[in-house]
Amino acid sequence: MKSKNDFGQFRRKIFLRTIAVLAAAAAVIYLTYAVLLRGRFAKGMVALFQNTLGMDYDAALRFYERTFRSHMDAIILLSLLLVASALFYFYLRWLTRYFEDISKGIPYRP
Q: Is residue 67, in this structure, part of any structural domain at all?
A: yes
Cα separation, 75 vs 37, whole angstroms: 13
Q: Round to whole Å and give the CA distance between 79 and 36.
A: 14
Taking only the tens place, the pLDDT of each residue in 47-106 is 999 999 999 999 999 999 998 888 888 888 888 888 888 888 888 888 888 778 777 877
Task: Report if residue 2 sits inside a domain.
Answer: no
Range of the domain at 78: 34-96
Whether residue 7 is contained in a domain is answered as: no
Residue 41 lies in a domain: yes
pLDDT tens track for 11-60: 888 889 889 888 888 888 888 888 877 778 888 999 999 999 999 999 99
Can you tell me the distance from the alpha carbon of 56 to that of 61, in angstroms, rounded to the nearest whole number?
9
Report the amino acid identity of residue 78.
L
- Provide the number of structural domains found in the chain: 1
